[in-house]
Structure 1
Amino acid sequence: MLENQPLSLYIHIPWCVEKCPYCDFNSHAVKSSIPEQDYVSALIADLDADITRFQLTERSLHSIFIGGGTPSLFSAQSIKSLLQQVLNRFDHKDDIEITLEANPGTVEADKFIGFFNAGVSRLSIGVQSFSSDKLIKLGRIHDSNQAKTAAKLATESGVTSFNLDLMHGLPNQSIDNALDDLKTAISLNPNHISWYQLTIEPNTIFHSKPPKLPVDDILWEIQDQGVKLLNAAGYQQYEISAYAKSGYQCQHNLNYWQYGDYLGIGCGAHGKITDSETQKIMRTVKVKHPKGYLDVNRDFLDQLTEVDESDRPFEFMMNQLRLHKSFSVKQFQTSTGLKINAVLPKLEEAKKKNLMACQVINNEEHWLVTKTGQRYLNDLLELFL
């Protein structure tokens, strides 16, 4: 039977100072002043519409993530108003994880402290690199010193945790370049590091004018040596690109990867909601452009679709197999509403190819991606298509 999953909330703030050439997110360069108050009002109206649509008044809230764009362009007062109105609508733990993304070029000490006082408990800082030439190539508006200063300010702001976003496999990047970036990030002592390879996405400047990227052998060596550096510094990999000190895993992202539920409000935001009564899983997509989203005469909802039972196994695996932890038979069944038999032949095939392993814990089968499966994750996922 399909059961309701933990419910998170993603809030999208679409504005940024400049559009980065690798970015395929729904973001828009600021051309004039940002209508903060109007947008906060629209976000709350959007949230209320979803609460009514999916009858969520009895559901508690697991986590909040404010992403973008560059949410740190907003004032602390706007973020405080937004969070107060959101939290007033749900039951939640006193220490609910609330993450806000920040760009090192848009923050100063008072602003980080203001975000903390507004209710933000976790900051995610988009550093990407500490190399000046790489930052210029990536179109970032900050420099290395600003990135280091942002990490220091986050440490002093009062937040429970902060994350540094860091890329590797950058244009013309050597192994030493990539590892030096990682060593600098580690020296700043964040609780969490998101370390991921640059990929060229459609509809980006890099896609139309591709830069020269490192070859696969160099990328693999960067990955191999980088993981060793992170482990030695006390960061454990718990997801493809996520490394955390003990107790500092991102609870919001974990809920995504475990096929949890989440509301998505704001321009172009996506959501996924399970309804145990109807045994349905629904997906939402909101109006993408700020002008249309802020139109008071328009519904915020752009798409509302049901996840067919035939699509649920792949969706579950696409998320769950990113994690470096096992999932149980019960978890699969309550998350998808399907019996494990729906994927058992594929799991057995993956086991034969040494891409997955099966272990029995408390008399229940658990399935885990092997190290080989982690390296060839795309091949593993193809088994479940």
Structure 2
Amino acid sequence: MLQLPPLSLYVHIPWCVKKCPYCDFNSHALKGGLPEQAYVDALLQDFDQELEAIQGRPLRSLFIGGGTPSLMSAEGFDRLLQGLQQRIVFADDIEITMEANPGTYEHDRFKRYRDVGINRLSLGVQSFQDEKLKALGRIHCAAEAREAIASLQAIGFDNFNIDLMHGLPGQTTEDALFDLKTAIDLKPTHLSWYQLTIEPNTIFYSKTPVLPEDDELWSIQEQGWELLEQGGFEQYEISAYSQPGRQARHNLNYWQFGDYIGIGAGAHGKLTDYDTGNIYRNWKTRMPAHYMNTEKSFEAGRRVLEADELPIEFMMNALRLNAGVPEQLFTEHTGMNLEVLAEQRNFAIKQGLLENSDRLQPTRQGRLFLNNLLEIFA
């Protein structure tokens, strides 16, 4: 039977100091002052238009991403969070995460972020080597990243993520392991460690830098996994590692095919309509100026997921998790009988890509060749 899954909220702040050459997110270099009041007004009005579909459910997690959310003041976030709490119940243990750029870090401002209710930070460090940061177009240096982390720990942020890339231009295995060891030594509760990929519509796509060869990338990954394990980090998703019990609740909800509202320029959402059994995705208009024109619709598009799409939509998320998910979650979060997966599931088990158990869980081989595994369910 279909059950309403946990509910999360994603808030998109679309501005940054400058656009990084590898970034394909909906972010825009800030010209002039941040239109904070107008944007918060728009966010709350956008949320108002989602309320009917929420059906009185509490928020389990809230993630503020970008862009560079740490360009916005604590007062702006206070107004936003208070406005949201007037409209929806926050779970008692709600996780509220904000992405932050070390180049915008100020001790007093981040203390105020904590005071208004933000209880988890995700710091976009990417590297602890100045030449690599310069190649990535980042606005901070390695020293600023270290100082920001020490400061946020002193403030009392005891739950934070470090975003770290590998496979950078000119990077050797030694370079990558230096970055990873530095991050581990700084004692975050969570690490997002992922390979730089070249995406369309980025500067790197039109002017691709020289990246490490496949053998070097494999060496980085193998030795990196060992280093993370020694540092007490458990890999629970393709590029996510945490100390025990410190997985990112918000991202877990995505991967377990939970529901989430997306507000802000270019934000995406996925919601379940219990009355009709429909699951739909929607997305908001991308350009900030258009988004803040509240006489126009915030929503740029919406579509219902068809029955033949649901198996691959579910598996694309669930199989990112090392432990997968209990098999009954498929029925609970899609409303479909598990039998619709039977043929593909048996084939994946015979291929050694899926565990033969009461979980939908990739084997080690399945994790290494995830695209091959997913093709079976497509």
TM-score by length of 1: 0.97
Code of the residue aligned with 1:307 in structure 2: it is L
Q: 2:128 aligns with which of 110, 127, 130?
A: 130
What CA RMSD, in Å, does the superposition of the two structures yield over aligned residues? 0.9
Superposed, which structure 2 residues align to 1:105-144 within 5 Å? Answer: 105-144=103-142
Q: 1: distance between equivalents of 2:239 and 2:20?
A: 20
Q: 2:375 aligns with which of 372, 377, 382?
A: 382
Superposed, which structure 2 residues align to 1:1-385 within 5 Å? Answer: 1-52=1-52, 54=53, 56-359=54-357, 365-385=358-378
Q: Secondary structure at the match of 1:373?
A: helix
* Contact 1:14–1:27 (8 Å) recurs in 2: yes
* Contact 2:318–2:360 (8 Å) recurs in 1: no
Q: Secondary structure at the match of 2:49?
A: helix
How many residues in Structure 1 have an aligned counterpart in Structure 2? 378
Question: Aligned-pair distance for 1:93?
Answer: 2.3
- Which deviates more from structure 2 when the two are superposed, residues 162-171 or residues 340-349? 340-349
Could you list the per-position Cα deviations for residues 170-190 of structure 1 after superposition, in whole angstroms to 9, with x for gaps in the alignment? 011100000000011011111
* Contact 1:57–1:90 (8 Å) recurs in 2: no
Could you list the per-position Cα deviations for residues 123-166 of structure 1 after superposition, in whole angstroms to 9, with x for gaps in the alignment? 00000001111101100000000111111122122234000000
Question: Aligned-pair distance for 1:91?
Answer: 1.9
Q: Secondary structure at the match of 1:356?
A: coil
Code of the residue aligned with 2:51 in structure 1: it is I
Q: 2: distance between equivalents of 1:375 and 1:125?
A: 27
Q: 2: distance between equivalents of 1:213 and 1:4?
A: 44
Question: Aligned-pair distance for 1:57?
Answer: 4.5
Rate the CA distance shift 1:368–1:209 in 2: closer, same or farther, 3 A. same
Question: Aligned-pair distance for 1:92?
Answer: 2.4
Code of the residue aligned with 1:124 in structure 2: it is S
- Which deviates more from structure 2 when the two are superposed, residues 212-221 or residues 285-294? 212-221
Q: Which runs of 5+ in 2 are unaligned?
A: none
Q: 2: distance between equivalents of 1:153 and 1:112?
A: 9
* Contact 1:346–1:383 (8 Å) recurs in 2: yes
Q: 1: distance between equivalents of 2:293 and 2:28?
A: 17
Q: 2: distance between equivalents of 1:345 and 1:98?
A: 40
* Contact 1:3–1:275 (8 Å) recurs in 2: no
Q: 2: distance between equivalents of 1:179 and 1:249?
A: 22
Q: Secondary structure at the match of 1:369?
A: coil
- Which deviates more from structure 2 when the two are superposed, residues 282-291 or residues 149-158? 149-158
Q: Secondary structure at the match of 2:2?
A: coil
Question: Aligned-pair distance for 1:95?
Answer: 2.3
Could you list the per-position Cα deviations for residues 73-114 of structure 1 after superposition, in whole angstroms to 9, with x for gaps in the alignment? 000110111111112222222221000000000011111111
After the TM superposition, which segments of 4 or more aligned residues of structure 1 sit over 4 Å from their partners?
A: none
Q: Secondary structure at the match of 1:196?
A: strand
User: Sequence identity, in percent?
Assistant: 52
Query: Which residue in 2 is equivalent to 1:362?
Result: none
Question: Aligned-pair distance for 1:8?
Answer: 0.1
* Contact 1:57–1:89 (8 Å) recurs in 2: no
Question: Aligned-pair distance for 1:296?
Answer: 2.1
Code of the residue aligned with 1:240 in structure 2: it is I
Code of the residue aligned with 1:3 in structure 2: it is Q
Q: Secondary structure at the match of 1:319?
A: helix
